[in-house]
Structure 1
């Protein structure tokens, strides 16, 4: 149980501030990019927020041999602020950073869509901030190749006991033994939201109960879809833009990943083909919401109306100010979610994952401050304060039910046990363009994956060969 609460608390402590913008599906969350030719604006001066005394006392008991920093200000380039908004609790990592290291976070604001443009301008002007979020899953290997980030190893001891819980994950963001991401936690990247009233009204088995019984699999998912769907009644099984990738990753195989220090593609993997054939069968049986008939616009409100059975999307949808949970049911307590269904042929219950973590910007003026903050984030993962803050936010601010809170914990626990990290968005824009839409064609348009991969394989491999060559030149 301790492991479950740790995952939940750590995820909530960071997700509560990035939930508004933490999305890598531009089709669902996008805004016009601002000009990148002007300096970033520091919208939050390096101020020190406070925590209530009981929680602060619990953080003070955690000893990692902290010493006051000569330079306590860490400049964080992001579209979201690590400092809490007025009236919001201070995250445990930030409390420890402030109280034990004398540190402060200075928020350097940039629009999400143009954050890399802004980063390049500042690095080239020798005006580098210090820290950059890795939570959008596109920092490595792209950032290492472009030279926008430095390895953390001169400042963070990834071989230490403190970092041992995240060792396997952080190795996926390493090249030649040098780590470009300090991942402090793993989160579920895509879950299946549903309306409990729709399940009841259609006499379907509740997915949460199936999960508890070890029966939430591709097969039971298929049975639910075929029982529910009715084209004449405009009732469909799934909507959104997250399903295709999230479902495929339950095989345990990403389209692009790291293997033996190299970027590899798995387009010909038999497990990916199995997932693609399942999604092709969904299309043939008219199970997926026909976005093409709606000008390629997703319709989350149909979940509340009982017309769409599942809406796969990130856990960020649980935060009310993202305006998703309101579309899933008229009453929030009727919203429920489960992880993606288990691939029966996989050797484990693999789930799509993203990390909470940060990278060191090239030319950072305060790398020791970044390392101190990362060590604080690792040290507070098990803290009672983190658990209590997470629970208070979930129940008091977000109005979650006990059932939703328990599932949130369970999803993150299961994801941490067998995480699968997709990297096609993290190599180059060309690789992302080559894979992102084609891997959705079987599901959306009824195209054969065996034919689709033939049209993209050579181009993808050529891009990866170039990327691997550039990575090798960095060694």
Structure 2
């Protein structure tokens, strides 16, 4: 298959965050409940890492969706940065849909922040508007924390420059959460055990959903619900194909007419038409009630949702929730997973790009340095309340060497086109009751949208 990169198989472009809704993105892989030193005490006094040369102490400004000084998986990196480099970070929290507007205003007024979240529209939309500072002069790619990820970083290169150095690499950023206790009561084989045996496929997932629905004589149980476009994209990526890929020349290529994409779309339409993928009345994608009450088989959602279930289990040890990646395409040659990255960019006009780069290095070292990683694990476990089984399984999807990853973010074009893509993906898997797409097949929606998508691809490629 084309697009192979050593280690994980990278078949395209950038994916960043998971969404609470498909209209916006969130800092899902790092979003946590705000903690304090009582709830989550973190000590880094015995840790020694090299995150870069000394810098002038400064107060950096961060613009994004969560407090990066207290979030469980970032707090140890921040404490090390603060205690050893003499810098602090002031957080301005905004909704993900507001970041572009706030950032544009700040840059134009000469008040640029120093750190901002990567989001769905970062690449190529905001990069093409010169919203960020290139970081090559501050980043040492020969440093051990960046070993093995240069090929991924270069997937986000724009105009020959590197603006984005992700510190988190999440193979399978979206999961199918299920009530394992209810599955056991019904007599449905545990999806995690099917996954462990290499038998977690589109077909076995469909069988699980059918058995789940059929177990209720009153007809109150439903199948799959959740993040509409991201769930659909996960099924497509399981074929090993990205909707938008980056070619060897660095230019964008759309794959919406690829036979694998069509096959995945036909599978999803079957789930929808047979009532196996649907929303219960009044239920939103982020609502955990159907899984909690055992009335829905699976919730397709970003990794961030798992903490919500873990906290319920901590309060009641009779509960048993778990999760699996989206299933394998039975016709694919390997098990392919969607992949997202997360990290921060330094906006254009930042006065503290060097300090911000040191902080990014600290964050990356929280994955690669043994001591800081152990401290970060403790912080995550206290903050997110994962069970050991949950944590270990999640961490297995950070191992880039042993997984086949498809990097695909089709939502980084202009706002209108990105919303069209979300809509046609969501309407392929779920009945969204959209006046524009009501009753249309994938093929009809795709053909009506290809002209707009191609125009955007041509526009961005013309800038390179």
TM-score (norm 1): 0.80
Please say if 1:459 is aligned against 2:459. no
Distance 1:142 1:90, change over 3 A: closer
**Residue in structure 2 matched with residue 468 of structure 1 by the alignment:** 461
- 1:255 and 1:265 in contact (8 A); partners too: yes
- 1:195 and 1:303 in contact (8 A); partners too: yes
1:130, 1:246 → 2: CA distance? 33
| CA offsets 1:297-349 (integer angstroms, 9 cap, x no match) | 445312222221111101101223xx89759x975741101111112222332
Please say if 1:200 is aligned against 2:184. yes
1:73, 1:257 → 2: CA distance? 38
Alignment of 1:319-358 (within 5 A): 319-320=307-308, 326=312, 333-358=319-344
**Residue in structure 1 matched with residue 426 of structure 2 by the alignment:** 440
Alignment of 1:127-138 (within 5 A): 127-134=111-118, 136-138=119-121
Match of 1:226 among 189, 204, 210: 210
Distance 1:206 1:295, change over 3 A: closer
1:172, 1:427 → 2: CA distance? 16
2:183, 2:103 → 1: CA distance? 46
Match of 1:389 among 368, 375, 399: 375
1:374, 1:398 → 2: CA distance? 22
2:271, 2:67 → 1: CA distance? 41
Instruction: Give 5+ residue unaligned stretches, structure 1.
Output: 1-17, 32-49
Aligned-residue RMSD, C-alpha = 3.2
Distance 1:182 1:344, change over 3 A: same
Match of 1:81 among 67, 82, 85: 67
**Residue in structure 1 matched with residue 235 of structure 2 by the alignment:** 247
Please say if 1:300 is aligned against 2:315. no
2:426, 2:451 → 1: CA distance? 19
2:221, 2:41 → 1: CA distance? 48
Please say if 1:56 is aligned against 2:40. no
Shift, 1:395, TM fit = 4.2
**Residue in structure 1 matched with residue 354 of structure 2 by the alignment:** 368
**Residue in structure 1 matched with residue 410 of structure 2 by the alignment:** 424
Please say if 1:286 is aligned against 2:272. no
2:341, 2:449 → 1: CA distance? 28
- 1:352 and 1:415 in contact (8 A); partners too: no
2:386, 2:66 → 1: CA distance? 23
| CA offsets 1:238-290 (integer angstroms, 9 cap, x no match) | 01124212222222222223223112211011111111011111123221124
Shift, 1:381, TM fit = 2.1
Distance 1:258 1:351, change over 3 A: same
2:401, 2:329 → 1: CA distance? 14
Deviates more, 1:434-443 or 1:201-210: 434-443
Please say if 1:273 is aligned against 2:262. yes
Match of 1:114 among 98, 118, 125: 98
Please say if 1:256 is aligned against 2:244. yes
2:42, 2:207 → 1: CA distance? 50
Instruction: Give 5+ residue unaligned stretches, structure 2.
Output: 1-15, 27-39, 432-438
Larger RCO (alpha carbons 8 Å, 6+ apart): 2
Shift, 1:415, TM fit = 9.5
**Residue in structure 1 matched with residue 305 of structure 2 by the alignment:** 317
Distance 1:201 1:28, change over 3 A: farther
The count of corresponding residues between Structure 1 and Structure 2 is 423
- 1:250 and 1:352 in contact (8 A); partners too: yes
Shift, 1:139, TM fit = 1.1
Shift, 1:221, TM fit = 1.2
Shift, 1:227, TM fit = 2.4
Please say if 1:210 is aligned against 2:194. yes
**Residue in structure 2 matched with residue 140 of structure 1 by the alignment:** 123
Distance 1:444 1:378, change over 3 A: closer
Give the SS at the match of 2:56.
coil
1:174, 1:383 → 2: CA distance? 26
Give the SS at the match of 1:150.
coil
1:378, 1:30 → 2: CA distance? 22
